[in-house]
Amino acid sequence: MRIIENRKWFYLLSLLVLIPGLISLCWPGRGLNKGIDFTGGSMLHITFEQSVQVKEVRDVLAEFGHKESTIQKSGQGEFFIRTHMLQQEESDNIIKAFNEKIGPVKIMRNEGVGPVIGKELTNKAILSVLVAAVLMLLYISFRFEFSFGVGAIAGTLHDVLLVMGIFSIFQLEVDSAFVAALLTVVGYSINDTIVIFDRIRENLGFKKRGDLAETVNKSIMQTLNRSINTVLTVLFALVALFIFGGETIRVFTLALLIGISIGCYSSIFLSSPIYYDLKTRGAGGKA
Q: Which of 97, 113, 129 is the last residue of a domain?
A: 113
Q: Are both 81 and 179 inside the same structural domain? A: no
Start-to-end C-alpha separation, the chain: 20
Structure confidence at residue 118 as a pLDDT band (50, 70, 90):
low
| 84 domain-assigned | yes
What rounded mean pLDDT belongs to the chain? 88
Q: Which of 73, 91, 113 is the last residue of a domain?
A: 113
Q: Are both 29 and 68 inside the same structural domain? A: no
- Provide the CATH number for the domain around residue 86: 3.30.70.3400
Look up the domain containing 48 and give its range: 41-113
In the chain, what percentage of residues exceed pLDDT 90?
A: 53
Task: Report the pLDDT value the prediction gives residue 152, as an integer from 0 to 100.
Answer: 93
Q: What is the H or E stretch that residue 241 is in?
A: helix 212-244
**3-state SS record for 97-128:** HHHHHCCCEEEEEEEEECCCCCHHHHHHHHHH
Q: How many domains does the chain have?
A: 2
Are 216 and 147 a contacting pair, CB within 8 Å?
no
- Point out the least confidently predicted range of 27-36, 151-160, 250-259: 27-36
| 180 domain-assigned | yes
CA 214 – CA 231 distance, rounded (Å): 25
- Provide the CATH number for the domain around residue 143: 1.20.1640.10
Q: Are both 275 and 236 inside the same structural domain? A: yes
Q: Mean per-residue pLDDT for 262-273?
A: 94
Whether the pLDDT of residue 251 is over 90: the answer is no
